[in-house]
Amino acid sequence: MKKTLLTLATVLLISINSFGQIMKPVTWSYAAKRINASEAIIYMKATIDKGWHLYSQFVKEGGPVKTTFTFNPAPGYSLIGKTTEPKPVTRHEPTFKMDVSFFEQSAIFQQKIKLKGKSTTVKGKVEFMVCNDTQCLPPDEVEFNVPVK
């Protein structure tokens, strides 16, 4: 009897877990490249699942949540300019009743930094929102940690 209950409980937990999967249609990867002795570029790559899109940093008010990078202040570096992005796709989205800019498949964002020493670690977070043709997921936030050597 105990064995049957244990088996039933295990099957039930596996079933519940499979229905409770959280969708993560975007994965992020990070890298840094020195461009000279005192400057580097931080690369933040979004790999986007087929059928989904990630919104640009430059979405107007009233639309979806735009992609936003926040860099933690640190003594080892300072930001040079703003985070850049590749050219997005722009089209009218009836859901938002406006033209919106977004990325499909992948996008590489770049942030130039001024180094104040030999090496540092750039930490921060990215907030973003993704949609497909039938649904939008709630905004998500991912922390990053990029060593610069």
pTM: 0.84
Give pLDDT, residue 21: 62
- Token pair, residue 28, equals 């992020």
Q: Does residue 145 carry a pLDDT above 80?
A: yes
CATH of residue 117's domain is 2.60.40.1250
State the distance between the two ends of the chain, measured CA to CA, in whole angstroms.
61
Is 31 inside a domain boundary?
Answer: yes
Mean residue pLDDT across the chain: 89
Is 75 inside a domain boundary?
Answer: yes
Q: Does residue 141 carry a pLDDT above 60?
A: yes
Is 16 inside a domain boundary?
Answer: no
Is 2 inside a domain boundary?
Answer: no
Q: Does residue 105 carry a pLDDT above 90?
A: yes
Burial class (CB in 10 A: 0-12, 13-18, 19+), 144: middle
Is 141 inside a domain boundary?
Answer: yes
For residue 85, the 8-state DSSP code is -
pLDDT digits (tens, 9 = 90+) for 32-52: 999 999 999 999 999 999 999
Is 18 inside a domain boundary?
Answer: no
Is 10 inside a domain boundary?
Answer: no
Q: Does residue 94 carry a pLDDT above 90?
A: no
Closest CA to 140 of 52, 79, 13, 19: 52
How many separate domains does the chain show?
Answer: 1
Question: CA 108, 109, 114, 120 torsion: positive or negative?
Answer: negative
Is 127 inside a domain boundary?
Answer: yes
Mean pLDDT of 95-106: 95
Domain housing 135: 25-148
